A and B are shown apart, each in its own frame.
Chain A
Amino acid sequence: MSVALSLTVNGKAERAEIDPRTLLVEFIRNDLGLTGTHVGCDTGQCGACTVLIDGNAVKACTILAVQAEAAKVTTIEGLANNGEMHPMQAAFKECHGLQCGFCTPGMVLSAIDLVQRHPNADEKKIRAELEGNLCRCTGYQNIVKAVAQGAAAMRR
């Protein structure tokens, strides 16, 4: 049995017939081939699979693809504009906010959501708000720095 799904991903209309149990992250990675969205755990804890759904950060491993029916989904591939990185992506590079790069897509999308909700977040707020995203490489210090710098750039 399959069900019809129609949604917008990175500005492009997508239609598919999918197994109803397909998770959104599986649909994004396997059906659309957008492999920038990563899977780091199976308990909704690590946040590597974070995408934006209608502008809000959502862990794509915690919802079914069919729950995103008619939604506008943004993955890490949809952030740069004609090869120019989003200010948050640029801040991560400038501040060395990534090492192995695996948690990075989810971290960047969470950070954008964070800044949308708290444009002037201080270090303490940023650290608290990154609770749902695990990074094993950076010790978070440069991620926190990048989020603050990205926030400043997004305000401009």
Chain B
Amino acid sequence: MGANDLNTIGQSVRRKEDYRFLIGAGQYTDDVNPPHHTHAYFLRSPHAHAKIRKTDTSKAKAAPGVVGIYTGADLTGVNGLPCGWLITGTDGQPMKEPPHPVLAQDKVRYVGDGIALVIAETPDQAKDAAELIDVDYEVLPAVVNPVDALKSGAPQIHDGAPGNKCYTWALGDKAAVDAAFAKAAHVTKLDIVNNRLIPNAIEPRAAVASYSRADDGYTLYVTSQNPHVERLLMTAFVLGLPETKVRVIAPDVGGGFGSKIYLYPEETAMVWASKRVNRPIKWTAERSESFLSDAHGRDHVTHAELALDKDGKFLAMRVHTTAAMGAYLSTFASCIPTILYATLLAGQYTTPAIYCEVTAVFTNTAPVDAYRGAGRPEATYVVERLVYAAAAEMGIAQDEIRRRNFIRKFPYQTPVALLYDTGGYDACLDEAMKMADVRGFAARKAEAAKRGKLRGLGYSSYIEACGIAPSNIAGALGARAGLYEVGEVRVNPTGGVTVFTGSHSHGQGHETTFSQVVASRLGIPIENVEIVHGDTGRIPFGMGTYGSRSLAVGGTAIIKALDKVVAKGKKIAAHLLEAAEADIEFKDGKFNVAGTDRSKAFGEVALAAYVPHNYPLDKLEPGLDETAFYDPTNFTFPAGTHICEVEVDPETGVVQIVDFSACDDFGNIINPMIVEGQVHGGLAQGIGQALLECCVYDKETGQLLTGSYMDYAMPRAAHLPSFKVATKVTPCTHNPLGAKGCGEAGAIGAPAALMNAVHDALAAAGVKYIDMPATPHRVWNAIQAAKH
């Protein structure tokens, strides 16, 4: 094999992690069984809103096998769970941050709110004992819809948040927007519900907490996307422990999609209790618990308006959104409908003036936080539904109205704070139209009409801000943490390389993609690179994986560390080759003296660094192990166009996806196979939102009605088509990989493409508006209503 064969950038290298998953050797949190461990069960509130008059655990404590039972009253010295992002309202006041107790204190605020941690010898004994806990509830009226929660007379959920309001926040130039609307030739208005979703990673949340008397330290295995952040929040803000005393390990994690970013009450209570019972404690959520207690996504109610001139040029956009927070502020809840939403309302367009006002509201439901896309799907849905409706109302073709408004000069400063570094929106639209055979659509529509079916074509030209985030900008916007990433490259004495990354893989294939980056840079076989992630005991630090940031931020941190390794390697090689450092080049795994055939292989230099017999010890430390922290200078801006074709059966209301074509620009791509897989998965979740999924709470009682896979419609294989996917490349201008991120694009672009197609199809039946999910029942009803 020649050295050049070791450069695998751009190749669909098969995944290094797959073998262990395929032979059943993956190690997920529920597979961890420390000796002598106990089992936890959480007693949860059956009521959406109630005062706790009294909790009696005496009978339960006497039950067989019980090791310990703890309620909120027992957690002395334990603080509430913090929120990581401070939003300042239009009134200049900080958002309302009511306490988020680890276990309920005097009140429960949603069905599933934790009451007691029951620890026993077996899971069944813990569950049986929990049934013996006597809780005396005074049931209060509940409110589950964010608009209802703002009405006067609505049940008051927190004393510290009058009217259930967390904040009202705004972005943009209101006066400029109002002036533009006043002179508009056409105004399009929509009322939009962005349906509440339940993330549903197939691995339920789980934790195993242990305490060691030997060092007064704790070890927590947990299903986390960001173990260092979990540790920081848990120790510094909640438990008051030295950070160094808790090791958090997120081993193989079975999907996250946002829901495993957050610090949850369960593992926090377990770490605290592990010292009290002095035995390891294990808990794995049942799926019913996941439905009740995982942070949910979306749940927006929006009124949106687009002002256009007579030629269909966008003049201004005005958006008012009410966003549910759920019963408590989850870790990043507050920034989702603000910083990750309103800032994306320019989309791919030159709309000169945008104003967005968001009111965040507490409701008697599970907390709402980031779910794949997080704010950006909601923004794209607003923008692209408006664009569709405006074009339809004005009689402009769907591609044409987009072209008339595309941004084509970069860098581009939007009126909503973001600076797009680069993009090529026409190229993705052109390619998607080719893939979707838009030219043949009229004939297909006519043919379908002969069969009594309604065909529709829908576009979605989305943009996202990824690579989260420049810490200084995030900090100015209210982030209470930095958002850099960390990479350590440890060259071992025999030339093998161990990479420690703060990014966390829970399906994304980092062990392969990052290995490709490292092996290609160092000119070594990919097998010689080992990627270590998900362990605060082994990795210097890290901010974790979310917001499609792993390659753009985490990958760049690894590149920066590699640069340091190569720089030190040059010094060592210069000594060994008795040449000037400036004359040493590093190429294809060799340090060469420029213009000569004298060289030292990478492995020889590594060995010299660890066996420094012939080594410049007076000028250079031995060893070859470098760490870099990388803080991005801007967000990255993946963008693309998705086109969906549907056929609706007006007799049954069934929407069938005939074709889904996606052309995305993710910047440079390391592994196309993995990127395609990410797009497929995102599209499935976006289509799930548009066609199938909807979290429903009973309006009166606050009970979760969609609390199992029998009631919550997850996309299954037969619901989905084979997607056509393609990419165009404009490299990101501000990271060395030129990478933008690909994890969320599908979930961001798909809902609007599908719903625009549904609206296009239903226009022939006189239907003006329908909300997600476009279930047969909802579609059929809309068709019937339009007849009358």
Contact = CB atoms under 8 A, between A and B. Distances in A.
Interface of A: 21, 34-43, 45-46, 48, 75-77, 79-80, 85, 89, 92-94, 96, 98-105, 108, 123, 126-128, 130-131, 133-144
B272 interface: no
B683 A102 contact: no
A101 B507 contact: yes
Given A98-B21, A130-B717, 7 more contacts: A46-B287, A76-B22, A94-B14, A101-B20, A101-B252, A101-B507, A137-B507
Nearest to A101: B21
Interface string B267-305: 000000000000000001011100000000000000000
A48 B674 CA distance: 22
Given A79-B23, A100-B506, A131 B718 contact: yes
B722 to A, nearest CB: 6
B24 A37 contact: yes
A133 B203 CA distance: 13
Interface string B705-739: 00011100011111010110000000000000000
A40 B15 contact: no
A137 B15 CA distance: 15
A104 B708 contact: no
A101 B17 contact: yes
B254 A45 contact: no
B28 interface: yes
B14 A93 contact: yes
Nearest to A48: B202
Contact of A102 (B14, B203, B509, B685): B203
Nearest to A19: B124
B681 A36 contact: no
B170 interface: no
B716 A43 contact: no
A134 B18 CA distance: 19
A135 B709 CA distance: 12
B22 A99 contact: no
Given A46-B202, A138-B681, A143-B717, A100 B22 contact: no
28 contacts: A34-B24, A36-B23, A36-B25, A38-B203, A38-B254, A39-B30, A42-B286, A77-B24, A79-B23, A93-B14, A93-B18, A99-B255, A99-B677, A100-B252, A100-B507, A101-B17, A101-B20, A101-B252, A102-B203, A105-B24, A123-B722, A134-B709, A136-B685, A137-B507, A138-B680, A139-B681, A139-B683, A139-B720
**Dominant secondary structure of chain A at its interface with chain B:** loop
Contacts of A45: 708-710
Contacts of A144: 717, 722
Contacts of A40: 202-204, 254, 287
A34 B751 CA distance: 40
Most buried by B among A42, A137, A142: A137
Contact of B254 (A79, A102, A123): A102
A45 B677 CA distance: 24
Contacts of A108: 22
Contacts of A127: 717-718, 720
Contacts of B715: 139-140
A123 B722 CA distance: 9
B26 A43 contact: no
B25 to A, nearest CB: 7
Nearest to B122: A19
A35 B508 contact: no
Contacts of A135: 202
Contacts of B677: 96, 99, 137-138, 142
Contact of A140 (B25, B284, B286, B717): B717
A42 B709 CA distance: 9
Contacts of A48: 202
Contacts of B18: 92-93, 98, 101
Contacts of A93: 14-15, 18-19, 22
B23 A136 contact: no
Nearest to A22: B124
Given A98-B18, A99-B507, A138-B680, A126 B717 contact: yes
A136 B24 contact: no
B710 A43 contact: yes
Contacts of A34: 24
A101 B26 contact: yes
B349 interface: no
B168 to A, nearest CB: 34
Contact of B201 (A21, A100, A123, A131): A100
A100 B24 contact: no
B206 to A, nearest CB: 10
Contacts of A98: 18, 21-22
